Chains A and B, each alone.
Chain A
Amino acid sequence: MDMLPEDYSLPKQTHDIFAIMARGNFISSNGTRDGMNRLYDIINNPENFDRLQAYFNVIRYNIERGNNYFYFSKLSEPNSELEKKLERFERYIDIIDLLASMDNKITIGSRFRPTEIAEECNANVRLKQKLQKIPLYRSETLHNKVREICDLMSRDSYLELEDEKTESYKVLDSYTYLLDVINSIAIYEDTTGGSDDAQGLIYN
């Protein structure tokens, strides 16, 4: 039986919250686009939280609380979905490695422009190599590559394009989630398999 938001005396932004989180995106407290911080405050309100949780549980979603961010997890998620998720994180390994190696560390709340990162990569061979080896991107210039990365991260709601004119991005609270996941992925080399390139992932 379908439950309507009204049955739970849910906040009127419930639909907006669902629309964001059901896409696999996060709601971070420091996000400002489309009133994200307001949505965060709404979920963070204990009364609302319980109601929303109960409501979303009916449709097999669970609200997960991170450090200043929320996201959905699916109750009884099939393994294939999990694998897909892991694959999604796999490509972030190199990205995070690059971002963590910058002189000016990218941390929660940092504001930066792709040009700044591209410039630093251009000036530092190590960083340049790191950037160049990031797969999936066909852009030719470093700047475009960084832009694609930023774009990807914005789509996955780890970054927010704060100012389109200056192309300034802000690192959202959900970035912690990404770091946590990447940190808990153990990479091992398959020495028995014969192929040196074979890499596997273990999700802790």
Chain B
Amino acid sequence: MTQNCRILNRIVEINISNVKYTDIELSGNTCFVGTNNFGKTSLQRAILFFYSANSRGLGISPSQKTFEEHYFRYENSYIVYEIATEEKNFFVIVYRHNKIVFRFVDAPYDPDFFFTQNDEAMKIKEIVANFEKRGIYISNQIDTFERYRNIIYGTETDKVLSKFHLLKGNEKYQNIPKSITNVFLSSKSSIDSRFIKDFIANSLTTENSSIKLEQVERQLRQFNEKYSDIEVYLKKETQQLIEFIDKKYDQVHMLKGSQMEMADKLGSSLRFAESQNEAIREAAKKKEEELETLATEHEALKTSIEDKQNNIREEIGYYDRTIRDAKKKLKEYKEKNIDEAVEKNAEREKLQVDLNIARREYESLTSNVASIEIKYSSLIEQLRNDKSAYVNKVNSKTSEVFNHYNELQLLQKNEYNKRDAELKDKREEALNEVSNEATHKQIEFNELKSEEKVIRNTRFYENEIKNLENELAELRAVSYKNKSERAIKQNMVSTLQREWESLEQRLKASLNNRINQTNNEIIKIKTEIKDIEEKLNVQHDAFYGFLEKNVKNWHESIGKVVNEKLLFRTDLTPELKKEAADSLYGISLNLEPVEVVSKSIEQYQFDKNERLALIRDLEESMNQFQTSNNEEKMIAADKYGKQLGELKEDVKVLSYSLELADKREKKLSEEFEDWKLRAGKEIEESLSGNRQRLNIIEEELNILNKKKNTVISEFTTQFEKLKAYNDERLSELKQRQETEISELEVEKKNQVKEFENKEEELAKEKESNFKSKGVDSKQLKNVEKRMNELLDLLKEIEQYSQIVSDYMKDKREVFDKLPDLIQKKEEFVKSNNDLGVQLEESTRKYNMKRMELNKQKRTFDEELIEFNNGINFYSNNFRDTPVYAKYSDIIERAEPKRTNYNILDLCTQLLKNDSHFNEEYGAFQRFVNEFAGKYRIDNHFNFIIRNDATQGEYERFAQNLRSFINENKIELSIAETATQIGLVTDSIATKVKELSGQKDKIQHIIQLIAEDFKKAEFEESKLIEFIKIRLEESDNKVYKLLKKIQEFREENGLVYNEGLFNTDFATGQKREISGKAVKLLEQLRNAIKEQEQEEIRLQDLFELKFNIKEGMNETGWTHKIDSIGSTGTDILVKAIIYITLLHVFIKESSHRSSKDFKVHCIIDEVGQISAHYLRELLRFAKNRNIMMINGLPNKSGLESHYKYTYQFRREENNNVRIFPSIVTEVEA
């Protein structure tokens, strides 16, 4: 059947869901009757799908099967929509080929197309082949819903397909399916203006045109967090903390360095002590041995000297005794008048001779004078004999004496020579000894002298000094290098900084220029817009409006000649005068070739939109420019900041190492000086020791020389004394010889004379006797007396002879040798004394040497004790401390080296320093904790430190903080945050603008709806007197703030991010603006949090209010229409509103030329509406070219108002059968 308009004529379901086949006509109001769950809604959805062609927007809940799965279960499931047109019906086949696809067939529906003779639905291939066979056009498969809709709503460009349209839609045709869908989906909800709002808004907008608050909130949160991080960072207290951290970090670092250095020294000292221990022990032992040898030698010498002394003492004792005995004997002889006895004894010979003479005289006197002659002759002869005997005797005695003395002299000479030789030997020996000693000393002296020279040339601690010198030289070289490097880097820093600054300046200037330029352009365009807006605003009352209303095609006539300004003047009071029509003040002009200069309202609107777009473009490009400017800034910050940071860090490191090097140089210099001083001291000490010894030796040499001289002089004296003694002895002996000889000569002479006298006397006596011949008695008596006297004398002498002989023997043997003995004793005493001196001297030397050796040994011992004490302290009091554990690596790896410090001191210092270090480190950690604690735990600077962080982590934190400062990352962060605030506000502004741009459309629609309500012919039934609708400002807090931000953005443009955190006075204004922006954003964030709304949609931009009067009830302006009357009334009003909405949207969205079409309004439950109202409603719809499709739970008579009524029945196999109910349409 053909109609005179286009309409969805029929829907056919083949194997759809649990409907095997149904063919439902829809060309009028249609009603489905059936209890729940029989498939009414499914069918309605299938109808809706014809309009919406969107399998997802059909109100199928996510828990249910999808449209595709529920409807198209089989290969041969088809929905067929037949569309009636002015000429010939056509239909669309919908089936599933993986996804849902469409085919248009240029023929009315015929079941034969789809079924075999066995009433089996064919597969699509067969169906298509069938059509081709029959020569019926069937389109290619339409794969997309979009294309299908384009065809149905008449916007398809393919001419073959373009004829298959239901209506000709304009660019807004999407609103039609949307509206139909919305009515269907919301038919069950109560009537709330919010729903209407949603309806209108949903119809106008796409899914993406809302402002997603979650996204905004996220952006705001990110911004806010960054902002507060930066705020915390810029606080004075935080900056102070940063300074503290920096300082403490340096301190801690330095302390650690010095501890490490000390640990290295400790290690070196320990290794050195360990390696030197044995050597020192050896040296000490050697010294001890030397001491022992020295003592033994000294003891031996001492014993030998003492032995010698003992021998000498014995000798002295012997001589002493001998001399004492001799002197005692001499005294005894003297006491016995030995001299007199000797003298008397000497006269013995003479007395003997006298006695002999006397005896012979006596004999002669007594022999009777006989032979006087003989007598006298024999007497004389005797006398002569006696005389010669006497002379001989005296002579022999003389020679005896002479010989004796000569012998004595010889003996003396021999003795002298012997003693002289002995003395000489002794002298030689003594001199030799002294000379030897002197030579020895001289050698020692010379050795010391050369040693002094060696000492002077020796460089003590040469290794240490050389090492230090090398180290110093190296250090200085490195320092020099570092200094120059630092200077270069500092130079680079300032160059880079200048470059960076100039680049920033340039970027800033270019941004400012661009901003100014853009703002100027925008201002210019805005002025133009304002002009246009003014024109548009006044056009109603101006000449233009007049022309629009009253003159057809005025653009072609007046429009070509009139001044534009004139067109918008309101004071012209134009009037229509018939006579002057088509002429200019009565003059007719051929305006054919003249161009139209006036513009239509649309053109103005277009101009305005164009300019608005221009502004948008400008802003967008400005935004881009700013973003790229910021990016450039960031790149520069990144590039320069990183470089600068690195360089600054390098400079800092270099400065620090220079500082350290300085300190080290100072320390090394001190050490160097110390070593030099020590070396000097050592030289001085060695030299002074040397000199002392030299002086001693010199003195000793002097003493030796003196001693030599003394010895020589002593010996000379001794020689002299010996010689004098010898001479004295010799002269004495000679004298005594001469005296004794002369005495003997005198005695001999006297005796000889006596003999001669006696001879003479005898001769005289003989003569006298010869003369007297007789004997004289007197004479005899004289001779006898004389003989007796002589005998007495001789007897007396004889008495002393033994003692004299003893004396003479003693004298010869002892007394004469006494001086010799004394001399010898003296010599021995002297030797003894000499030996004493020698012993004393050697003891002194021994003691000195011993002392020196002891001193050396003590030095070794002390060193050893120091080492051992150090090692003991180290192992007992240091090794188990945590300090050792901390530096064990360094200590254990150190090279053995002598240092200026002892182990004990080093250990103590390390322990002491460590506690200091711990204190400092504690402070450092406290600062870091406090600093990090000021930030949020997930701050964007990543300033975070765990509570159980290691020292390394704390140090890394400080390093990172340092590079953060050096690289000026805060600026980067500020720039980023500033950009972010710009982007956030900008995106908000854009979105708000975009959204609120649609408000005009809503205004327009509402206006149309209001007009449509007015046109409604409610008067007929008087049921509903009026339905009024109006728009009001939104009271959505979030939207209001969004709007505020957008206005703020419009007002202040893009510049305010410059002032963020800027404390510069010159840009203070900007800071204020920024502050305001930050505040606004903060408010927005809070409002979003409070409101808990997911998005701001078009419907949040306005409030919709109704005022409905039904009978006597007027609702007043209200959001909700729930108290108009009965449920039926509510449904009615709702339906009316929907239909109105649908009508308005269809009208708005379809081409003006396309008028002959009808669409369906699907409202499911209308069961409670009264028949009267239903009739009213259907009529209301019909007047607007809308057919109703409704659902009823059961037959109640209402179905009689519909053209088609279908009933639903569930069959035994669970299939649903839909069949037409036989009713008659009462009124449609």
Contact = CB atoms under 8 A, between A and B. Distances in A.
A110 B929 contact: yes
A32 interface: yes
B932 A109 contact: yes
Contact of A111 (B232, B237, B946): B946
Interface in A105-120: 105-112, 116
Given A32-B936, A162-B937, A112 B947 contact: yes
Contact of B930 (A32, A37, A107, A163): A107
Contacts of B946: 111
A76 to B, nearest CB: 32
B925 A109 contact: no
B237 A107 contact: no
Contacts of A32: 936
Contacts of B948: 103-104, 116
Contacts of B926: 105, 107-108
Given A29-B237, A104-B948, A109 B934 contact: yes
A68 B932 contact: no
A17 to B, nearest CB: 18
Contact of A37 (B232, B922, B945): B232
Interface in B922-966: 922, 925-926, 929-934, 936-937, 944-949
A95 interface: no
Contacts of A145: none
A174 interface: no
A171 B929 CA distance: 9
A171 B933 CA distance: 8
A111 B936 CA distance: 11
Contact of B929 (A37, A108, A162): A108
A30 interface: yes
A163 B937 contact: yes
Interface in B945-1000: 945-949
Interface string A56-79: 000000000000100000000000
Contact of A107 (B228, B232, B925, B934): B925
Contact of B933 (A104, A111, A163): A111
Contacts of A112: 947
A30 B930 CA distance: 9
Given A104-B947, A168-B937, A109 B931 contact: yes
A30 B947 contact: no
Contacts of A110: 929, 933, 947
Contacts of B947: 104, 106, 110-112, 116
A68 B237 CA distance: 9
A109 B945 CA distance: 10
Interface string B900-939: 0000000000000000000000100110011111101100
A37 B228 CA distance: 10
B934 A29 contact: yes
B929 A109 contact: yes
A7 to B, nearest CB: 24
Contacts of A104: 947-949
Nearest to A113: B947
Contacts of A103: 948
Main secondary structure of the interface of A (DSSP, over half): loop
Contact residues of B: prevailing secondary structure = helix
Interface in A39-57: none
Contacts of A107: 925-926, 929-930
Contacts of B237: 29, 68
Contacts of B930: 30, 107-109
Contacts of A37: 228, 232
A163 B232 CA distance: 20
Interface in A14-43: 29-30, 32, 37
Interface in B772-797: none
A27 to B, nearest CB: 14
Contacts of B929: 107-110, 171
Contacts of B937: 111, 162-163, 168, 170
Contacts of B945: 111
Nearest to B947: A112
A171 B228 CA distance: 19
Contacts of B932: 109, 111
A54 B933 CA distance: 32
A105 B954 CA distance: 13
A48 to B, nearest CB: 16
Nearest to B933: A109
A107 B954 CA distance: 14
Nearest to B932: A109
A30 to B, nearest CB: 5
Contacts of B936: 32
Contacts of B925: 105, 107
A170 B922 contact: no
A30 B922 contact: no
Interface string B194-229: 000000000000000000000000000000000010
A32 B936 CA distance: 7
B695 to A, nearest CB: 68
B933 A108 contact: yes
A109 B947 CA distance: 9
B933 A170 contact: yes
A31 B1085 CA distance: 20
Contacts of B228: 37
A74 B386 CA distance: 170
Contacts of A30: 930, 933-934
Contacts of A108: 926, 929-930, 933
Contacts of A111: 932-933, 937, 944-947
Q: Which of B929, B932, B949 has the most CB of A within 10 A?
A: B929
B1117 to A, nearest CB: 35
A104 B950 CA distance: 9
A106 B922 CA distance: 11
A23 B922 CA distance: 33
B216 to A, nearest CB: 20
A107 B931 CA distance: 11
Contacts of A105: 922, 925-926
B1075 to A, nearest CB: 13
A110 B949 CA distance: 11
A112 B925 CA distance: 15
A143 B930 CA distance: 25
Most chain A C-beta atoms within 10 Å of own C-beta, residue among B930, B944, B947: B947
Contacts of B934: 29-30, 109
A168 B948 CA distance: 13
Contacts of A68: 237
Interface in B1132-1178: none
Nearest to A170: B933
A78 to B, nearest CB: 35
Interface in A149-171: 162-163, 168, 170-171
A68 B934 CA distance: 11
Contacts of A106: 947
Contacts of A163: 937
Nearest to A32: B936
Nearest to A103: B948
26 contacts: A32-B936, A37-B228, A37-B232, A103-B948, A104-B947, A104-B948, A104-B949, A105-B925, A106-B947, A107-B925, A108-B929, A109-B929, A109-B930, A109-B931, A109-B932, A110-B929, A110-B933, A110-B947, A111-B932, A111-B933, A111-B944, A111-B947, A116-B947, A116-B948, A170-B933, A170-B937
Interface of B: 228, 232, 237, 922, 925-926, 929-934, 936-937, 944-949
Which 10 pairs show the lowest CB-CB distances between chains A and B?
A: A109-B933, A112-B947, A109-B930, A109-B929, A108-B930, A107-B926, A104-B948, A110-B929, A107-B929, A30-B934
Given A108-B926, A109-B934, 13 more contacts: A29-B237, A30-B930, A37-B228, A107-B925, A108-B930, A110-B933, A110-B947, A111-B932, A111-B933, A111-B944, A163-B937, A170-B933, A171-B933
Interface of A: 29-30, 32, 37, 68, 103-112, 116, 162-163, 168, 170-171
